[in-house]
Every structure is written in structure tokens, then in C-alpha cells.
Amino acid sequence: MPRLNPGELEIDLFCKGLRIDASCRLDRDARLFSRTRAGLGSGLELVIPGDLKDIWMNAPVEEDFCALSPYLVRWSEAGGYQVIDTRSDEDYEVHIPPTPAWYERTTSTGVPMSKIGVLQGTYLGIYVSEACMFWNPEENANCAFCTSGVNVGVNEVTRKRVDDVVEVARAAKEESGVTFTHFNAGYQWEDKPEHTRAHGLNRAAPYVKAVREQVGGFLGVQVAPVLPHDHWKYDWLVDLGADHFSFCYEFHNPDYFKSFCPGKFGHLGQDAFFRAMEYTTKLLGKGKVSGEIIAGIEPIEDTLEAIDYITSVGAFPTVCIFRPLIGADLEHLESPAAEDMQRVMEHMWRAMVRNKIPLEIIPNIEVSLIVQPGDAAYLAPRDLGWRAFRARNAIVRALAGPYVAWKLKPHAVKASATDHPKLPPRRQPEPRPGSEAAA
Amino acid sequence: MIVNLDESGVGEVLEAAGRSPAGRDLVARLQAGEEPFFVAVGPSGFEWGVFNEVRGIANRARLKLFTPEDRDDLAVVLAYKPSQVSWSHDRYAYGVWEIPVGDGETALDAAELEAWIAFQVSGFHPEKRPLSLVRQISYDIP
């Protein structure tokens, strides 16, 4: 069996998982394992060094299939950690990023910082609302691969104060070098005009404004798409400081979308994701919006088609390799075959090149939950097109330097995070009986 | 059957469990069944697993009977899997069975109890979820 390059190893680890040898002291050396947000971050954060780039990944360790993995992480006698492929005895050096000091601290209001936000790779992820409404017992329409409904309130704080989030974002920027903060939420009645103030974009708004004004950095928002009559909300969020939107439509094949995302199908429809992705790409420009899909459940040809569609509109694909998470409805499915996933990721690279989507322009955004488009550079032949694309991105990166430096600083925001001419007035609380107002 | 009856502490756990009607029914079912159950000693409440394999891997499915704090009206069976990372104390919850405790000797619904045992033996397979499974948990788990 030939030695794998870092990109191939990343994919194989996502598909096969990792066992932990008794020689490891990961309780001391590694970041805490935290099943937050949709659940993908429940594994071991590690870095695979490489000549093109270092690859950050969250290797599955908790799921049942990991117990049968040929890969074993161990402490080497020479010092440092290695991943051993027990089939071939091939060893791969890996780095284990330590727990940031701020994980151990609390905010001024006494909330553990790691219950406000967590690093997933090198970016800060913050879930901004109560559980996704698809998990409501009345709805019972959660996505079949997701576990967010059993995480929020158990591993995360349900309601996060804006000041707490600012404190955590500041600590993550100053101590961990974070350049990108990502806010996400599940479905929040985006199809219901009567709940317009509760939509995910509205919930994210105060956090985006506060972090833009008090911390700085690049800010992303990932919530359920609003319908076209509410697309103005994206403009509003950009005015508040958002730089990026991502849309998790999961499956390109409509039948799979319907079967495995019953809530998204019933309330929003696949088209809502497409229209929102197209709208925001026009609003922000090429390479600033992403379409998120899961590879390994629907037929591969559908996933390839999804990548072609996403890149054709100027967005970039974020492709999650399906992980049968503990407690998810799809826990009993097999993890996908690494060969299939390599085909998907190589296709992603070619689609990025073909559509000239800017890549890795902002420094230090490494997302450990997915195979990033830049990671896929390891999978493609290093031909003229490959070199030209990388050279072009290097030039754009250099030209963007001053803009990046400016964005990393805090800036005042004029727009209100709670009021907008298109929003209905806020409901006033009922005056208490006997109070002056009631009289 | 319970295969670790000889283990230190197991007798005490079973005796304590037998003081409630729900616990009594559960202990009787575990003892009478064909499945090789084991009783966990150490955790609070009455907790048990089963020695079997699911798709070639040791079954991690655990059930735990406990009474939530300030909820004397309720006996609860929690379904969870412990972490397979040696130093982690994480528990991956699948939901609970909430059993109202009446004034009398409330017994468990026999069919529902069988459904919960089958759910555990299957390694909490989604297609074996009992009808009474509540996925949202609104109290602290001891």
C-alpha cells in the first residue's frame, strides 16, 4: 500500500476514524472533545503537516466505526504524536493543537467560555440560538445526520449574551490568532413572516454587529435561508459587518433532500437555498459564499453535480464527508469509501480551478470539519493549470493584504442590529397592572 | 440473566433498585431474560449494559434508572452511550423513558419494557426506537 499524501490521509481518516493508543496523553495535550453545533466537532483535532499546506482535521474517534479503524494515534519515542497505519506500519507525523487557555476561563458573567464558542480548526464557531426548531417535538423533522437537538443545552449554553460572545471572540482573536468567527443556527421559522424577528439572520445580527465593532476579523453567518421576499436581510447583515454566508443544502438529489432533510424540504424547499446562494454571491462577490453538502450518502454523481452548480454561481463548496454520528438517525449507516471521497474532492479542486474561485485569500482560516477546497490541491496532478491557479491566488492574496489588515480591526457600524425599516415594530411588553403606564 | 451477580457491590445496587416498583420490574426482567446483562457499580442510580456485539463491535448501549431531582413523581430510564475515549466522561444521550410514579405499586408496561430492552440490545438502532422515547431531556442527569 503506497504512502498517502496529507490530503489522501485526511480523507482516509475521515472515512475510517482513528483509535487512540494507551501511550497518548491527549487528556493533557489535546483540545477537549466537544459535541457542539451539528455534532461534527466531536473528534480529535489534529494537524497533518504538508509541503503545500498543513491540513487541520477533526478525526472521528467516538463513533462505533472508529473501533475498527486501521489508524492508531500514538506517542512516539522520539517525542511527538504519530498516526500509524497498522496495515502497512506506515507512520505519519501529526501535531495535536493544545486546548486554548481561554477554554478554561469564564466570561465576566461566569459562563465557561468553551460553552459560548469553540475552535474548529483555526476559526471560532458560535451557535447563536436555541436548538434548531426542526427538533421541536411538534415538528419532529430534524435532518437525519444531525445531532444539534441533543447538544444545545447539554454541551452548550442555550441563550448566549452578546457581551459573553464578544469576550470569547476577543480572547480567541488575541490568544489563538483567530481571523474568522462563524455564527450559525438551525431553522428558526424562516418561512413564517409572523416570526420575522426570530429568523436566524435576526438572531445573528446583534452578535455580528457587536463583534464587528468591538473585536474585528472576518465574520460568517450560516443560518437557514430566508425566502426571496426577505433577501434584503442579507444586505442588512452585510451592513452590520457580515463577510460571508453559507448555505447547508446537504443533498443535490431532490429525493435524498426530501428523505433526509424533511424539515428543510417541507418548510423551505431546495430552491430557497439556491436562490439565497445566488443572491448573496451577487451581493458579496465570487468566493465569499459557500454551499455546504454532505458526500457519502447520495449517489456520487449527484455530489459532483452539486459541486458544479455551487462553483458555477461563484460560490465555493464546503463538502462534509458523512460521519455516522452517535445518536443521529443515520448512526447505523456505514462511513463512505475513501476512494469515492477522493474522487469527490479532486472534482471539487478542478471545479474551483475551472471557475476561477478565489481560494485561501484570508489568512489562517482552517476548517477542521471538512476537506477544504485548498486541501484538495494534494489530490490533483500538479500540472500547468494547477500551478497557474495557485499562482493567481497567491497574487490576489498579496494584493488583499492591506484590506485584510483593515478588516481585522474593529470598526463602527451605523446600522441597527434590532431595527430596520422593513421589520415590523417590536412588540412592547404589556404594562403591569397597577403601574403608571397601565393607568 | 445478570452475569456479574458475584461482583462486589452488585447485590447492593440491585437491592436499592428493588425498592421502587419500576426498579423491581427491571431487575426481574434482566434476571429472567436470555441476554447477558451486567450491572454497573459506581454510577448513581441503577445502570446496566449488555455483553453483545453490534456489527462486530462491543455494544456500548447503557440504560440507567433514576429519579430526577425535585421530581418524585417520575422514574426515568436514560438511554446513552459512554465515550470510547478512555479519559472522557462524556455521555451520548439518545433520550429517556419517563415513567409516572403513582401512589400504588406502579408496574412498567410489559410491551414497552421489551421494546426498551430490544432497543438496548440493538445498540440503539434508530429503527428500534421505542414509542415512549422522549428525545428532549428537561432535567439534569445524575
Q: Over 80: is that where the pLDDT of B104 sits?
A: no
Please give the residue of chain B at the shortest CA–CA distance from A142.
Answer: B135
Q: Is residue B139 part of a domain?
A: no
* pLDDT 10s digits, A336-355: 999 999 999 999 999 999 99
> Cα(A166)–Cα(A206) distance, rounded to whole angstroms?
10
The answer to whether residues B76 and A15 touch, using CB atoms and an 8 Å cutoff, is no
Cβ contact B88–A33 (<8 Å): yes
**Rounded distance between C-alpha atoms, residue A348 and residue A351, angstroms:** 5
- pTM summary value: 0.90
Domain contains B135: no
- Residue B134 included in any domain: no
Contact A35/B at CB under 8 A: yes
Residue B133 domain flag? no
Write the pLDDT tens digit of every residue in B62-87: 999 998 888 888 899 999 999 888 87
C-alpha–C-alpha distance, residues B129 and B122, integer Å: 10
Q: pLDDT by residue (tens digit) across A269-290?
A: 999 999 999 999 999 999 999 9
Q: In B, which residues are within 8 Å of A329 by CB distance?
A: 126
Identify the pLDDT of residue B105.
58
Q: What is the pLDDT of residue A430?
A: 56
Answer yes or no: is pLDDT of A62 > 70: yes
Question: Which of B92, B98, B132, B141 is most worth mutating to test chain A (most A CB atoms within 10 A of its CB)?
Answer: B92
For A:134-163, CB contacts with B below 8 A are 135, 137, 149-150, 154
In a domain, B23, yes or no: yes
Residue A17 has pLDDT above 50, yes or no: yes
Point out which residues pair with A293 in neighbouring strands: A250, A319
The answer to whether residue A326 neighbours chain B at the CB level (below 8 Å) is: yes
Give the helix/strand (H/E) hosting B77.
strand B74-82
Q: Which H or E element spans position B11?
A: helix B10-17
Question: What's the rounded mean pLDDT across residues A354-378?
Answer: 96
**A130-144, A208-222, A229-243, range with the lowest pLDDT:** A130-144
> How many Cβ pairs within 8 Å bridge chains A and B?
59
- Mean pLDDT, rounded, for B22-50: 92
pLDDT at A405 over 90: yes
Please return the burial class of A222, using the count of CB atoms within 10 Å of its CB with bins 0-12, 13-18 and 19+.
Answer: buried
- DSSP letters, A323-375, are ---TTSTTTTSPPPPHHHHHHHHHHHHHHHHHTT---S-STT--BTTSB-TTG
Residues B125, A332: C-beta atoms closer than 8 Å? yes
Q: Mean pLDDT across the stretch A228-239? A: 98
Partner B contacted by A174 (CB < 8 A): no
In a domain, B4, yes or no: no
List the single residue in B57, B88, B134 with the smallest CB-CB distance to A68.
Answer: B57
pLDDT tens-digit map of A324-336: 998 889 999 999 9
Which of A27, A327, A332 minimises the CB distance to B87? A27
Closest-CA distance, A226 to chain B, in angstroms, reads: 27
Task: Please enumerate residues of B whose Cβ is less than 8 A from a Cβ of A.
Answer: 54-58, 60, 81, 83-88, 90, 92-95, 123-127, 134-137
pLDDT at residue A411, as a whole number: 97
Mean pLDDT calculated for residue range B1-14: 94
**What phi and psi, each to the nearest 5 degrees, are found at residue A116?**
-95, -45
Quote the CA–CA distance of A103 and A115 in Å, as a whole number: 9
Full residue range of the structural domain in which residue B31 is found? 10-128
Torsion of CA B54, A22, A71, A94, to 10 degrees: 140
pLDDT > 60? residue A38 = no
What's chain A's Rg over C-alpha atoms? 22
User: What ipTM was predicted for this assembly?
Assistant: 0.82
Is residue B142 situated within a structural domain?
no
Contact list, B123 vs chain A (CB under 8 Å): 64
- In a domain, residue B137? The reply is no
Q: Which residues of A61-96 are buried (b: 16+ CB within 10 A; e: fewer)?
A: bbbbbbeebebbbbbeeeeebbbbbeeeeeebebeb
Looking at chain A, which residue has its C-alpha nearest residue B136?
Answer: A150
Residue among A35, A36, A332 with most chain B CBs within 10 A, to mutate: A332
Q: Which of A137-151, A333-347, A375-389 has the lowest mean pLDDT?
A: A137-151
Residue from the list B58, B92, B136 with its beta carbon closest to the beta carbon of A326? B92
Mark yes or no for CB contact B86/A22 under 8 Å: yes
- A64/B60 touch (CB, cutoff 8 Å), yes or no: yes
Q: What is the pLDDT of residue A50?
A: 97
Give the pLDDT of residue A158: 60
What cell does A324 get?
Answer: 455516522
Contact with chain B for residue A68, Cβ under 8 A: yes
Asked if B57's CB is within 8 angstroms of A64's CB, the reply is yes
What pLDDT is stored for residue A152 in this prediction?
45
Rg (CA), chain B: 14
Mean pLDDT of chain A: 92
Q: Is pLDDT at A37 greater than 50 in this prediction?
A: no
Task: Name the residue of chain B whose CA is nearest to A63's CA.
Answer: B84
Q: Which of A45, A326, A330, A334 to mutate to test the interface with B (most CBs of B within 10 A)?
A: A326
Number of domains in chain B: 1
Band (pLDDT 50/70/90 cuts) for residue A159 is: confident
What is the model's pLDDT at position B103?
Answer: 61
Residues A154, B93: C-beta atoms closer than 8 Å: yes
